[in-house]
Structure 1
Amino acid sequence: MSDSRGLVVVVEDEPTIADVERIYLADAGFGVHIARDGRAGLEAIRSLHPVAALIDIGLPGIDGIEVCAQLRAVGDWTPVVFVTARDAEVDRVLGLELGADDYVTKPFSARELAARVKGLVRRSQQSLQSDLLVVGDLRLDQRSRTVRLADRAVDLTATEFDLLAYLMGSPGQVFSRSQLLAAVWGVADYRGSRTVDVHVAQLRAKLGDTGPLRTVRGVGYAFGPA
């Protein structure tokens, strides 16, 4: 991505550990949103659609295993890395059976943890996205980072390209501004920012006002018809 590799939600109730994870993930190019308990973490993952979640197992409220279980129960396959002080084999098996993608125990190397999250996100994105996205006359090639509309090339900035690729990857799905900020810019806090609106307007100017970008009033944006 142009400014960020995407948003990672860190669910950790120990402030010192959360701060270390935030620093190293930020150094690796990720935006970071920190939640202090299981319910807040579950809500953040559901609302922000991060590229990955780093979840401590021993959380107040609902624990990390239950957070992952509730995500998987509704078909949310956000990549999950468990962090825990428990080193028992039963925890490892349970975590992986619930659909966790990786598992590290405390104490851990923060630099290694950030590298593992980066690798996990890269593999996840490669498996979910094809190199070529084609909708009607619009063709987006993620390998060469080029866009063509019918017989003409469309020149996009890096951020415009990332935003269009994200929307084209889920045609018909409506995304809120906060979800798009999290996915494309790695920013968790919307606070009335006009960033998404400005970039959508720029895309429309280049693709045509009657093109495939659709505004859903009171919600956000989608690619393609309802």
Structure 2
Amino acid sequence: MTFANGSTIVTDILVGADGAWSKVRPLLSDATPTYAGRSMVETYLYESDTRHPATLALVGGGSMTAYDETTRIGLGVQRERADTLHSYAMFDQPLDWFDGIDFKDGPAAARTVAAMFKGWAPELVALVADSDIPPIFRPLYGLPIGHRWEHVPGVTLIGDAAHLAPPDGEGANWALFDAGQLGNAIAEQPKDIDAAIRAYEAALFPRNIDTATAAGAYYPDFKPLNGSVQ
């Protein structure tokens, strides 16, 4: 492995835990993430108990989502510590639909995105219009449902590097679970690491299909591998 600073290492086991745009994945698979048909715009409201009490009251103590089937836009927001509201404006649109939004100009981007929610309750529009950070563009990508690879000795993947799916709250959880399962497999066969990795992969490939299939039913451009789930 060669790192950005020029240093190198040689290792017997390489685990790609490097996310959606994994540099390790090409050693195993030629699959690349594809756009899932939805993008989000991330915003924050801080100190909302005093600065945005009406919005905070609407969200409540947990999270909420509002979605308009006609315009294909929505808002998802969750309450975090210190009365922070962490929000995502959702748009089921192709990538070029966002070309007219200048995300390098934070205030202008906030105004443009907020204007798309014309007619919505002002308590909800405030999540975007009054954002305390410049809005962040978050296009969603996924690997084909059923992504798998032919075993390569000494190399494997965990988390989004292995089974990237549009966010449903499970990405980090699955990465931690994968790591635990791989660790258990190695602990059970410490003298045959290759067999341990094979056992881990045999369980990995089918394990996340249900979650990815559920995402695929919602995200219009997120398709199974070769049109079917293996």
Specify the TM-score bucket, using the shorter chain as the normaliser. under 0.3
Question: Is the radius of gyration larger for structure 1 or structure 2?
Answer: 2
